[in-house]
Amino acid sequence: MSEAVAVAVAERFRELYGADPDGVWAAPGRVNLIGEHTDYNDGFVMPFALPHVAVAAVARRADGVLRLHSADIEGGVVELRLDELAPQSDRNWTAYPAGVVWALRDAGHDVTGADVHLTSSVPTGAGLSSSAALEVVVALALNDLYALDLEGRQLARLCQRAENVYVGAPTGIMDQTASACCETGHALFLDTRDLSQRQIPFDLAAEGMRLLVVDTRVKHAHSDGEYGKRRAGCEKGAALLGVDALRDVPFDGLAAALERLADEEEVRRLVRHVVTEDERVERVVSLLEEGDTRAIGPVLTEGHASLRDDFRISCPELDLVVDTALSAGALGARMTGGGFGGSAIVLAQAADVDTLTKAVEEAFAAAGFTAPRVFEAVPSAGARRIS
Ligand code: ADP
Ligand code: MG
């Protein structure tokens, strides 16, 4: 994130609103290293922040008006009155930043208005949380400008509420927490039950490794409905096993739990994924803390098999990335995010990255798929003020 971006965003703010912004803030997108579909089961996740960020220039207003502009969306400045903000009243991109203002005010914080101009380098709809980046950058700016003194994890909660209630999208707490709380060179080990968190060193470059994100650029149409079904299936599993959430099924009690679910083939598979996935997160944490980054590769690959075979949310494009990367020498690979499209991650020796990228691109062309977008994910900083 260069100084030049902050200057350009502030300059555009001046053109739009005819005055200087009070400051410029940035908040990143994220990828989840491991811990998929565990967040709504009170389990573990392990995201890290991308170098890709939403950047917002913001100024306070005292007159109950919110003005919003995105460089990345056609159309001019949108003007809203704070006392008219209402959940699910807005189907446009403006619902994300307006939802944050609504959530802050609904929680009793005296926010009296703002002018906002933003732009983002987080690809949208690729499972990299461009929506959370947008929410968190606005929340952090308002936190500073109104001296609200909220911590990252509190801002994340408010942003989640904005997305769940105001926008109307059911999401867990991972994305906003990652954007708000991640640190450079670390992955964030997050317990989604009590939101306790630990920064785990994840400095790939120092160990001669790199991590690629492969955005398949597909989003299969049935993905939202399938998400709902998986979620409901997990809740049914917890109810049948008599626990609050699948998080409460211990790894060493898995065999017994699966036996109790002998007549529920579909639920059994979901339970097996969630319980083994929580264990994989804990294994990755231990390996990274021991400094054995290379050894996490096979754990990532195991996670993919579990999502593909037990949770059944992969798709031909994601499987092709994983299979091709592994054949071309990757240390590990898995789909990341909700599934049925979006992105996969590939852990590789730095020296193998070019060969791997070419192999994946060629495999996509040969299969007749849309060309994927491949980029490197360097564990980067969480939300911050940049000027
Ligand atoms: P994801 O978070 O996985 O990228 P979502 O569907 O949750 O996908 O969020 C994408 C939405 O966020 C976009 O459709 C748009 O409404 C909003 N958004 C993301 N980036 C921008 C941006 N730069 N400008 C305006 N709106 C954005
Ligand atoms: Mg999102």
pLDDT digits (tens, 9 = 90+) for 258-273: 999 999 999 999 999 9
- Average pLDDT (162-176) is 94
- Average pLDDT (202-219) is 94
Residue with tokens 């949208």: 124
Best CATH choice for the domain 3-199+381-385 from the list 3.40.1390.10, 3.30.450.40, 3.30.230.10, 1.10.1040.10: 3.30.230.10
| Cα end-to-end distance, the chain, whole Å | 12
pLDDT for res 127: 87
- Average pLDDT (98-119) is 98
Smallest CA separation from ligand 1 atom 2, residue = 129
pLDDT for res 225: 87
CB of 131 closer than 6 angstroms to any ligand 1 atom: yes
Smallest CA separation from ligand 1 atom 11, residue = 131
Is the pLDDT score of 184 beyond 80? yes
Q: What is the pTM of this model?
A: 0.96
Task: For the chain, give the mean pLDDT.
Answer: 97
pLDDT digits (tens, 9 = 90+) for 120-154: 999 998 889 999 999 999 999 999 999 999 999 99
Can you tell me which atom of ligand 1 is nearest the CA of 132? 2
Is the pLDDT score of 349 beyond 90? yes
Smallest CA separation from ligand 1 atom 16, residue = 93
- Average pLDDT (190-215) is 96
**pLDDT tier, 221 (very low <50, low <70, confident <90, very high otherwise):** confident
CB of 387 closer than 6 angstroms to any ligand 1 atom: no
Q: Where are the domains of the chain?
A: 3-199+381-385, 203-376
Question: What are φ and ψ of residue 384, in 5° steps?
Answer: -160, 160
Pocket test for ligand 1, best of 130, 159, 227 (most atoms within 8 A of CB): 130
Question: Cα of 76 to ligand 1 centre, how many Å?
Answer: 17
Question: Cα of 123 to ligand 1 centre, how many Å?
Answer: 8
**pLDDT tier, 18 (very low <50, low <70, confident <90, very high otherwise):** very high
Give yes or no for a contact between 9 and 57, defined as CB atoms under 8 angstroms apart: yes
CA 149 – CA 66 distance, rounded (Å): 21
- Average pLDDT (335-358) is 96
- Average pLDDT (221-225) is 81
CB of 164 closer than 6 angstroms to any ligand 1 atom: no
Q: What is the 3-state secondary structure (H, E, C) of the chain?
A: CCHHHHHHHHHHHHHHHCCCCCEEEEEEEEEECCCCCCHHHCCEECEEEEEEEEEEEEEECCCCEEEEEECCCCCCCEEEEHHHCCCCCCCCCCHHHHHHHHHHHHCCCCCCEEEEEEEECCCCCCCCCHHHHHHHHHHHHHHHHCCCCCCHHHHHHHHHHHHHHHHCCCCCCHHHHHHHHCCCCEEEEEECCCCCEEEEECCCHHHCEEEEEEEEEEECCCHHHHHHHHHHHHHHHHHHHCCCCHHHCCHHHHHHHHHHCCCCHHHHHHHHHHHHHHHHHHHHHHHHHCCCHHHHHHHHHHHHHHHHHCCCCCCHHHHHHHHHHHHCCCCEEEEECCCCEEEEEEEEEHHHHHHHHHHHHHHHHHHCCCCCEEEECCCECCCEECC
Q: What fold does the segment set 203-376 form as a domain?
A: Alpha-Beta Plaits (3.30.70)
Is the pLDDT score of 2 beyond 80? no
pLDDT for res 1: 66
Question: Cα of 136 to ligand 2 centre, how many Å?
Answer: 12
Residue with tokens 């200087």: 20
pLDDT for res 265: 97
pLDDT for res 170: 85
Of the chain, the percentage scoring pLDDT greater than 70 comes to 100
Question: Cα of 94 to ligand 1 centre, how many Å?
Answer: 10
Q: Angle 122-361-352 (CA atoms, 0-180°, nearest 5)?
A: 90
Give yes or no for a contact between 96 and 142, defined as CB atoms under 8 angstroms apart: no
Q: Which residues are catalytic?
A: 175
pLDDT digits (tens, 9 = 90+) for 287-338: 999 999 999 999 999 999 999 999 999 999 999 999 999 999 999 999 999 8
Q: Residue 122: nearest ligand to its CA?
A: 1
Q: Who's near 83: CB < 8 A, 6+ residues apart?
A: 64
pLDDT for res 149: 98
- Average pLDDT (36-64) is 97
